[in-house]
């Protein structure tokens, strides 16, 4: 099977000029470089591709979905710019992050500018009011997902009173799933729903099917990411394994499930709560995780969400576009690492 993500990229890339149009509207020329930098850093454009495919899958034209697709990808970039500030990340896709390259003030101003470009794009959709409402809900939930992800960290941010006061000491699987639905699921869900909403006369039950597909694919995608973080191969991913352990994250399903088995006396627990974690310690923790059933259990969760996504798709008409959406879900389930 060819990689369906490569096919998706073809669709997703179509919105690049659309995003640029909005990003450059009401923009000082001296600010243009900084504003275009985030979208020029790369990215697979999975979300706008989902918007376009969803529109096609319900009988619409690709072009009808471009403003909505651009808005979704701008929202994704908006969240990345801010996440990199929040997580003090200096690199993304091998390039300096926005704050690292331009400085904190400029990164904040760029992020604000993205949010307004989202609004401008939504104003060019079929029904701005509905799209604005959905986007506001989506970004508020995304924010809450990020808040929870931070509160699930087991150490660090000692200068951040809100986090120090409210840190979770335990995280249940259902708390994890709530966080992931908000942090990753909701925007992917919205990407699909926006595709449906871009087409005139689409039925509520069709929108519901797209919504269910998107949310489930989104969660499966994040679970997949979590598994890769712990069990991936550096040659393949280009990233060191165990980054989430180094960042004290209990908001990784593998870490969470391993800890349930290992308990408080484990190496893993001790390392997660240390203020500075060495890479050698990360390896120790991963070895410990490998002795647990966490991998199999995480895989099971991933399969469950993929199954739900595929089941939702059956409620759409059988078209080549639906099959592309299916391929994507299956790819996420089998994603190599």
Residues of the shown chain interacting with a copy of itself in the complex, contacts defined by CB under 8 A: 25-28, 30-31, 34, 82, 85-86, 101-106, 108-109, 112-113, 115-117, 119-120, 122-123, 128-129, 132-133, 135-137, 139-141, 143-144, 146-147, 150, 157, 159-164, 166
Taking the complex as a whole, how short is the minimal distance between the CB of residue 282 and a copy of itself, in angstroms?
Answer: 23
3-state class of 153 per DSSP?
strand
Of 25 and 44, CB closest to a copy of itself:
25
Which lies closer to a copy of itself via its Cβ, residue 41 or residue 163?
163
Q: Cβ of residue 22: shortest distance to a copy of itself, in angstroms?
A: 9
Nearest CB to a copy of itself, comparing residues 60 and 156: 156
Q: How far is the CB of 69 from a copy of itself (least distance, A)?
A: 18
Judged by CB, which is closer to a copy of itself: 28, or 169?
A: 28
CB of 135 to a copy of itself, least distance (A): 7
When the beta carbons of 168 and 337 are compared against a copy of itself, the nearer one is 168
* Of residues 90 and 203, the one with the C-beta less far from a copy of itself: 90
d(CA 63, CA 198): 9
Quickly list H helices, the chain.
4-12, 16-24, 29-40, 46-57, 66-86, 98-102, 104-122, 128-151, 161-166, 173-180, 186-197, 204-231, 234-237, 243-246, 253-262, 267-273, 279-290, 294-313, 320-334
**Strand, helix or coil for residue 322:** helix
3-state SS assignment for residue 220: helix
CA-closest candidate to residue 45, choices 11, 3, 2, 84: 11
CA distance 47 to 69: 7
Least distance between a copy of itself and beta carbon 76 (Å): 14
Closest CB 256 distance from a copy of itself, rounded Å: 20
Which CB atom, from 112 or from 173, has the smaller least distance to a copy of itself? 112
The two tokens of residue 73 are: 């990808």
Min separation Cβ 262 and a copy of itself, Å: 28
Is the distance from CB of 278 to CB of 183 less than 8 angstroms?
no
CB within 8 A of 198, min separation 6: which ones? 51, 55, 60, 64, 65, 68, 125, 126
Q: Minimum Å distance from CB 116 to a copy of itself?
A: 4
**Between 3 and 127, whose beta carbon lies closer to a copy of itself?**
127
CB 99 within 8 A of CB 84: yes
């Amino acid at each position: 099977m060819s990689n369906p993500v490569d096919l998706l990229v073809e669709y997703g890339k179509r919105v690049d000029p659309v995003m640029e149009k909005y990003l450059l509207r009401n923009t000082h020329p001296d600010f243009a470089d900084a504003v275009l930098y985030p979208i020029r850093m790369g990215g697979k454009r999975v979300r706008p591709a989902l918007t376009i495919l969803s529109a096609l899958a319900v009988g619409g034209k690709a072009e009808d979905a471009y403003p909505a697709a651009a808005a979704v990808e701008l929202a994704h970039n908006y969240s990345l710019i801010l996440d990199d500030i929040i997580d003090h990340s200096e690199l993304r896709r091998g390039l300096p992050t926005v704050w690292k390259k331009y400085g904190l003030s400029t990164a904040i101003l760029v992020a604000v500018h993205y949010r307004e470009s989202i609004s401008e794009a939504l104003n060019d959709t079929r029904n701005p009011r509905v799209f604005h409402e959905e986007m506001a809900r989506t970004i508020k939930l995304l924010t809450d997902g990020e808040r929870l992800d931070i509160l699930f960290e087991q150490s660090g941010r000692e200068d951040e009173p809100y986090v120090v006061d409210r840190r979770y000491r335990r995280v249940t699987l259902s708390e994890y799933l709530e966080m992931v639905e908000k942090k990753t699921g909701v925007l992917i869900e919205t990407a699909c729903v926006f595709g449906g909403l871009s087409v005139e006369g689409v039925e509520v039950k069709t929108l519901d099917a797209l919504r269910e597909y998107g949310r489930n694919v989104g969660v499966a995608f994040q679970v997949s990411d979590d598994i890769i973080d712990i069990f991936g191969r550096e040659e393949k991913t280009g990233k060191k394994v165990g980054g989430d352990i180094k960042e004290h994250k209990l908001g990784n399903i593998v870490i969470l499930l391993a800890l349930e088995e290992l308990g408080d006396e484990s190496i893993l627990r001790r390392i997660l709560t240390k203020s500075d974690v060495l890479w050698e310690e990360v390896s120790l923790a991963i070895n410990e995780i490998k002795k647990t059933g966490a991998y199999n259990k995480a895989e099971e969760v991933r399969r469950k969400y993929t199954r739900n996504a595929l089941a939702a798709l059956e409620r759409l008409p059988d078209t080549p576009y639906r099959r592309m959406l299916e391929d994507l879900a299956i790819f996420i389930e089998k994603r190599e690492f």
